[in-house]
Amino acid sequence: MVDHQKVRTFTESIFQAIGCSETDAKLAADVLISADLNGVDSHGVARLAGYVRLYDHGRLNPKPNIQIVHETPSTATVDGDRGLGLVVAPWAMQLAKEKAERVGSGWVAVQNSNHFGIAGYHSSLALNKDMIGWAMTNAAPLVVPTFSKEKLLGTNPISVAIPADKQPAFLADFATTAVAYGKMEILQRQGKPAPMGWVQDAEGKPTAYNNAVKEGGGLLPLGGDREHGSHKGYGLGSVVDILSGVLSGANYGPWVPPFATAGFHGVAQQQVGKGTGHFLGAMRIDGFRPADEFKQNMDTWITRFRSAPAVEGEVVQIPGDQERNFRAERLKTGLPLNEKVIESLEELSKRFKIPFA
């Protein structure tokens, strides 16, 4: 277990070492540490070395000149100037909130960005203004459309954050696949098979092989197979891709660049747009009804759902509970970084002469 403050300080220093401003480095580190605190280990400091690799390969601009390239009172497209998605997305969300403040809602498509960390971090930025926040992003292709043998979509997460009154906020934040790719990597490390319904092989057949995605197979959309609604997961992942990629002028579908060149999926030969795309939104609650009324009703919603009788040995959770439970625990215990992650941080420590251990 490693204290999160220690990892945070180190992460900030690494981002500064590759040229980020202190403000940007603090923000980027906050997004990553939030993932680790919330139990989304795959999206936390485990990726710090990946961001540095992006920088090494000239795909990351540590001092981006983020700009609005097109706008109306409630919409905008932003060029992230190859900046860290961890920094570009909050910038875009701030713009969405300002638009919502003025005209009720704000929607910002982002082109020319990179991996933005956990979607829930960005959607949650709307909560302090009594707004509903939206965040989504496309990503490099790992997912097969229903009946396709070819991977054409990323795990394309979507997040919606909704404020409550005395209850904690509602936070939906999920990849539009049956399972996140990080879970496959865990099975690979453990040498365990995957449950059926997570992946298919190169022929498009169901498989339990934990390395199928690297060998021509693909992750299945949420729903798993057609009979269980995989066309719905495919549809939802497509909406995320189109709003994030096509609407913004970023890459989309099979052309979305991989997170870092260490990725096994190769770099797309062709570019149909600029970088990776995101889509952020903010809706002012009192654009629809008084915020107090709404938040009290949200408390009723949350407590009613929480009180549902659960199947034996389980509890009915509210979207966001899992992340909150992890956070409460890990603020006390520290972050359970695995050996490989610690190794990668120690390498960065050596390279940049910034103490970690």
Kindly identify the residues of this chain, within the stretch 148-177, that bind a second copy according to CB under 8 A: 148-150, 152, 160, 162, 170, 172-177
| Nearer Cβ to a second copy (23/307) | 307
CB of 171 to a second copy, least distance (A): 9
- Choose among 6, 3, 44, 31: nearest CA to 331: 3
Q: Does 146 bind a second copy (CB under 8 A)?
A: yes
Q: Does 182 bind a second copy (CB under 8 A)?
A: no
How far apart are alpha carbons 183 and 202 in whole angstroms? 19
How far apart are alpha carbons 108 and 128 in whole angstroms? 19
Total residues interacting with a second copy, rule: CB under 8 A: 88
- Residue pair 279/136 in contact (Cβ under 8 Å)? The answer is yes
How far apart are alpha carbons 239 and 245 in whole angstroms? 10
Q: Does 75 bind a second copy (CB under 8 A)?
A: yes
- Residue pair 132/96 in contact (Cβ under 8 Å)? The answer is no
- Choose among 75, 80, 19: nearest CA to 51: 19
Enumerate residues 199-238 that contact a second copy by CB under 8 A: 203-205, 222-224, 227-229, 231-236, 238
Binding piece for a second copy, criterion CB under 8 A, among 4-12, 53-61, 208-216, 283-291:
283-291
Q: At what angle do helices 339-352 and 4-17 cross, to 10 degrees?
A: 40
| Nearer Cβ to a second copy (84/283) | 283
- Among 64, 83, 275, 319, which residue interacts with a second copy (rule: CB under 8 A)? 319
Show the site string, 92-121: x = touches a second copy by CB under 8 A, - = not: -----------xxx-x-x------------
Q: Does 76 bind a second copy (CB under 8 A)?
A: yes
Q: What angle do CA 251, 79, 40 make, to 5 degrees?
A: 70
Which two structure tokens, joined as six digits, stand for 271?
Answer: 């570019």
Q: Does 356 bind a second copy (CB under 8 A)?
A: no
CB of 243 to a second copy, least distance (A): 8
